[in-house]
Amino acid sequence: MKLLDLGVEPEEVIAHPRHQAAQVDLVPLIERVRACCSPKDGYELQQDLLRQILEVEEHRNAFSKAVKRMRDGKPPQAGAPEPQSGLSPADIETWVLERELCERVARQFRSVGDALAWRAFNHDRRYILALCRNPPSGIMAGKAGLKAELETVETHWRDDGQFALMRDLTSCLRIGDITAWQDDGPHTYEIKTNARYRSTVQERRIATAYDAIRTGSALPGDNAGERLHDVDTPLRTHLELLQTATERAAKDGIFAAKVPGSRALLAVDLYGVIGQGWTRQEFQQRVARQWDAARRRACIGSQLDFNVHATSLDSVSRDPLRVPWGVYPMHPVAAARLIGDVMTVVVETSGPSLAEDLTARGIPAQWVRPPGTQNLMAGEVVMEMHNETEWRTANGLTATLSRTLQLKPSEMDHYLIELLDQDCWAAGIQHLLLSSGASDRPWPVFRDEGDTWL
């Protein structure tokens, strides 16, 4: 459930005391992630992050219990936390709001856990792509196996001086319970309080994930064609424009600009908007005017039904494939505002324009998504790219190799929200099309990616 679906205005969320307190807490946590350079740093940060998440999840559990009681015609249970919104505690909507705000704040703290995971893996995307392939974890507070996991973390630290990261503090790590960084690299473990309850299925998924990283074999899951593929192209982006956008939006309220590669970017900072003193109507008019101008400069404003976008709004710790804002090259305050939706970023492109760009680079591409303004659906094919290679065999015959790659929302999101340089992105696609060893569903990983993230 999203708070906007409950009819809650963004200003009500931002002004809520719990949300404001989280904004204050996020900044030093992000700073500590970026400063982590030893197992001790990671261990101590994890302890503080654990305390933050457990506290907010315990409150969420209590608010959830109160909501259930009120739906049964009973009053909230004795000892339930007091609602902080200032709304009437006699209304069930007040308690629903508090429950959903706790869920939201817990995800914001988990986004810091995601940043810690990226930092610990030295920003090697392969580990995230391999270890995210399970359903998301549930609530950590009250979890039966939590004590055993905490003891395992303590044992690694106390006995061997090793940092062991708990999966439940993140959204991007979903296979195994903890990952410990040992002398020969990271190892992921499933922790059980009783050896009789060992999950051989999960242990096999752990082994499959690490085999996929080391050997290029199939990733965990039912599709043997899903494999990591190293692209011999350094990652290049336009993230300096995102940094400019966050700085300008914080000052001016709104920033919109053309992004190379048939894209337009919009950043809105609520604190910056409030500082301008605009009415709601003035704000809406200014956003529309600047956004339309940016689209025109990017040449994507003529057929909006063919446009698709990626947004930061209420997205943290929902998609494990997204790079967490905490490791983006921007000020930690800007990262915290994006995590908490105090600032929102949208990046938009035109499908047909993008296909034309690739075709002009020698990659025949066709935008296949029908026109419509609805959001992209997981697994939906939006564009197809083709390649045909001919060669003569030893007996004089001509052989033709045809290959088609399908672009889906996960890769589109990667191109948009990370502001990939289009030449770099196209070179990666070309590499996959020409590679005889590429699988039917390759997950590309660019070279030297660690140089991009903080």
Contact 337, 23 (CB under 8 A): yes
For residues 140 and 323, give the distance between their C-alpha atoms in angstroms, rounded to a whole number: 22
Residues 6+ apart with CB under 8 A from 168: 137, 140, 143, 146, 149, 177
Q: What does the pLDDT look like over 234-272, one tens digit per residue?
A: 999 999 999 999 999 999 999 999 999 999 999 999 999
3-state secondary structure at position 407: strand
43-57, 85-99, 341-355, 363-377 — which is least confidently predicted? 363-377
Given a cut of 80, whether residue 140 has pLDDT beyond it is yes
Does the structure show a pLDDT above 70 at 273? yes
What are the phi and psi torsion angles at 41 (to 5°)?
-60, -45
Reported as a pLDDT band with limits 50, 70 and 90, residue 373 is low
Angle at 284 between CA 280 and CA 290, to 5 degrees: 145
* The residue to which tokens 């709004």 are assigned: 313
For residue 387, the model assigns a pLDDT of 85
Is residue 448 classed exposed, middle or buried when 0-12, 13-18 and 19+ CB atoms within 10 A define those classes?
exposed
Tokens of 383: 């564009």
Within a 10 A sphere around the Cβ of 55, how many other Cβ atoms? 15
Q: What is the pLDDT at residue 79?
A: 94
Task: Note the pLDDT of residue 396.
Answer: 66
Half-sphere exposure (Cβ direction) of 446: Cα atoms closer than 13 Å: 25
Compute, in degrees rounded to 10, the torsion defined by CA atoms 112, 117, 118, 123.
160
| Contact between 355 and 260 (Cβ < 8 Å) | no
Task: Give yes or no for residue 2 having a pLDDT over 70.
Answer: no
Domain ranges for the chain: 1-113, 121-222, 234-451
Mean pLDDT rounded to a whole number for the chain: 93
Query: Cα 314–320–322 angle (5° rounding)?
Result: 70
pTM, entire model: 0.94
Predicted pLDDT at 379 = 86
Percentage with pLDDT > 90 across the chain: 84
Instruction: Compute how many other C-beta atoms are within 10 angstroms of the C-beta atom of residue 27.
Output: 17
Instruction: Dump pLDDT digits (tens) for 176-209.
Output: 999 999 999 999 999 987 666 667 889 999 999 9
